[in-house]
Amino acid sequence: MIQDFRKGIQKMKHIYQKGKDLSKPTLLLLHGTGGNELDLMPLAGMIDEDASVLSVRGNVLENGMPRFFKRLAEGVFDEEDLIFRTKELNQFLNEAAEQYEFDRDNMIAIGYSNGANIAASLLLHYENSLKGAILHHPMVPRRNMALPDLTGKSVFIAAGTNDPICSPQESEELYSLLEQANATVELHWENRGHQLTADEVAAAAKWYQNK
């Protein structure tokens, strides 16, 4: 079911699908630039077909393309908007958990590109917002900020050695930041660019099953 969520800072279009096993984490799906709440639904089934799914559409439009926060240029984030939109998403998740009656403390994000960036921002700004995350081609959302204590959180990062948008150095820096924040992090490399590959999704599924 696709709904408009009318509470919170601003409604967020989304899909919620109740899973077969409510003891499993709710999978939070966060699309890349130009995507929508339908894009990553197939990934949820590949990661855990029995889990509940909450897939959200970003509230920002860039030349008609949905995003989760504004940017000033390619790879240059609007930090003020990032902070605001991260707060907006976190509040939406609180209220969605209440409406759909899922465990707010048992949520794992699956994000690609811009969606992975907002998921990383959630972890760094709200240390209890996620139990863990699968981040496909993320960048460092913010630098020079006090790190949270992410003890007990698990993060999988998929990166491309030839990614023209997210450099290998960017992936390694995010890996290092999350480790410094006491998260358990796995960094998976593909000899590819910025595209989301079947191999990295398979690696993410294996990580999820073994974590």
Q: What is the pLDDT of residues 58-97, one digit of tens each?
A: 999 999 999 999 988 877 899 999 999 999 999 999 999 9
Average pLDDT over residues 22-27: 97
State the pTM of this model.
0.93
Render pLDDT for 120-175 as a digit per residue (tens, 0 to 9). 999 999 999 999 999 999 999 999 899 999 999 999 999 999 999 999 999 999 99
The terminus-to-terminus CA distance of the chain in angstroms comes to 30
* pLDDT reading at 3 higher than 60: no
Place of tokens 């899909």: 15
* pLDDT reading at 2 higher than 50: no
Catalytic residue among 52, 154, 163, 171: 163
Grade residue 8 by pLDDT with cuts at 50, 70 and 90: very low
Average pLDDT over residues 97-113: 97
pLDDT of res. 72: 86
Task: State the Cα–Cα distance between residues 74 and 15, nearest whole angstrom.
Answer: 29
Place of tokens 């009318």: 6
Q: Which residues of 107-138 are buried (b: 16+ CB within 10 A; e: fewer)?
A: bbbbbbbbbbbbbbbbbbbbbebbbbbbbbbb
pLDDT of res. 140: 96
- What percent of the chain lies above the pLDDT cut of 70? 95
| 163 counts as catalytic | yes
Domains identified in the chain and CATH numbers: 2-210 (3.40.50.1820)
| 167 counts as catalytic | no
| 194 counts as catalytic | yes
* pLDDT reading at 211 higher than 90: no
Task: Return mean pLDDT, the chain.
Answer: 93
Catalytic residue among 113, 121, 129, 154: 113
